[in-house]
Amino acid sequence: MSNTSLENKQLTYCDGCGNLKPDIHRRYLNKAYCTACYVRCFVKKPCPKCGKDARLLKNDTHNVCERCLRSVPCIRCGKVAKSTARTPYGIACQSCYQRYFTEKKTCYECNKQAVNVSRYSAVPHDEPICAPCAQKYTHKTCPCCGRYRKLVQTDKGEMCQKCHDLGQIPCSGCQKPMWAGRGQRCHECYLRERLTREIELNKHLFRNPNIKESYANFIEWLAETRGYGWTVEKHLKYIDFFAHCDKTWGEIPSYKKLVIEFKPDGLRTYLNALRWLIETNQVKVDKQLKTEMAEEQRIEQLLAKLGKTTPPIILKYLDYLHTRRLERGTSITTLRLSLQPVVDMYHQFELKDENTPSQAQLDAYLAIKSGQRASLMSFLPFLRNNYGVELRAKVKDTKDELSIQSKRKEVEKRLMALINSENPLSKKEQIEWFMLSMLFFHKKEITKKALKSATITDYTEEDMFLLVHESKEYWIPKYKA
């Protein structure tokens, strides 16, 4: 509520005669006038604006009649304020006054500040609430037209009053029958007209006529392909694509230029635009170029993992890979795969400048990512020839592991035989139990001699043995005692 209205409510005396007059007849310019003073101070004379007779304040050259006062533009929206409300800043229309010049109150239900907070008879409590909260008690979505309105009970179920009274009417656009509650147009016609209007507005963003036409054709194609509802919601994101083409080339360029400019990841953002260009034969896809650009972008992303400053040794290695690629005719994918483990290793161990990885760091990396051993085979001779660093990507000895795998089924059968034994295990069988368990559960062979020097602890509560061998702990299930 404005300060003016608060002051007017507090005025209980007449400014004309100075007497207490609770029955104020007229308030004007923050002053109140009783009936007698109104007749005395407001005389009939022509309005200086419209020329019609009206009661106007004496000696006030800027005074106009109420009719002209209501026809002045709203101080906020500029529209004619037919139903006026006075504010400290001037005359406002009723809509702007309610929304922007009245005091906000707190809604009892949603606890939000709003200007339309009031009490409603349809609400089960007597607390002031905002209009959206009040509508939850009185409004529902009409199942016929989809509008959020008060519904009435009919023979066909609940529906809004308009759908009940008028039923189905022809759409003014496509003449197809629709429920009257929708208004003059069906939803499809509304979306079509809205999209057409937005296309015309967005075309002003482009300078080149060819781009304007291409944009309009693309949106129409998108609407036919994906539907008007989806297009209305998503079409704005494609403005950047056409704006970039308009600014850079002034036309839709070739596929090569698009890939170089946007990169494959960027084109994936505008995938529908690319599909439209391909379907309409405006561009022809070069798969080899696409692969080249995609790999180059992945290489850039790899180097970005090392921070703003790439270590010089990585840049030298990249030049070495490019040279080798030209000599051998290998693909850019091979180059990227050779670079990846080196970048990962430098990132993992935070190596900077001309620092080279140590043998321990290389072993630690391969222990986790053993599959990268082959990709490192070009980096090791590069270090040896350029930095004199001799590193070895040790090949894991798999003979023992293959031997264990071949014995696994036999070991499992023997363990099951020991478990199903009716008699308690003998000392010889107990030693066999530990040897077979180490082989089956931990894939590690242990000799009788090594077993004698190992420490074995019995954890009865957990039904497990803890075997400590070469400073490592191994948990083994208990046998039948």
Q: What pLDDT score was predicted for residue 268? A: 74
Residue with tokens 């009723």: 94
Residue 5 pLDDT grade (very low, low, confident, very high; cuts 50, 70, 90): very low
How far is C-alpha 33 from the chain's CA centre? 60
**What is the tens place of the pLDDT at every residue in 189-221?**
999 999 999 999 999 999 999 999 999 999 999
Q: Is 308 helix (H, G, I), strand (E, B) or coil?
A: coil
Q: How many DSSP H helices and E strands does the chain contain?
A: 20, 16
- Residue 241's pLDDT is what? 92
Q: How confident is the model at residue 102 (pLDDT cuts 50, 70, 90)?
A: confident
Q: What is the pLDDT of residue 219?
A: 93
Question: Please, which pLDDT band fits residue 100 given cuts at 50, 70 and 90?
Answer: confident
Assigned token pair, 129: 């609430």
**Is the model more confident about 329 or about 109?**
109
- What are the tens digits of pLDDT across the range 357-394? 888 888 888 877 878 888 888 888 888 888 888 888 76
Maximum Cα interatomic distance, the chain, rounded to a whole number of Å: 129
Dihedral sign from CA coordinates of 99, 102, 104, 109:
negative
For tokens 């007698």, what's the residue? 36
Query: In this model, does residue 452 exceed pLDDT 60?
Result: yes
What is the pLDDT at residue 396?
54
Q: Given pLDDT bands bounded at 50, 70 and 90, which one contains residue 20?
A: confident
> What average pLDDT score do residues 224-232 get?
90
Mean pLDDT of the chain: 83
Looking at 242-358, which runs of residues are DSSP E strands? none
In this model, does residue 404 exceed pLDDT 80?
no
Percent of the chain predicted with pLDDT > 90: 14
Contact present, 158 and 149 (Cβ < 8 Å): no
Tokens of 300: 């850039």
Residue type, 210: N
Return the pLDDT at 12: 65
Question: Which pLDDT score is estimated for 242?
Answer: 93
Structure-token pair, residue 80 = 């004619």
Instruction: Output the CA torsion sign for 341, 343, 344, 346.
Output: positive
Residue range 18-39: average pLDDT? Answer: 80
The answer to whether the pTM exceeds 0.75 is: no
Strand partners, 170: 177
At 9 the pLDDT is 43
Q: Which helix (H) or strand (E) holds 442?
A: helix 427-442
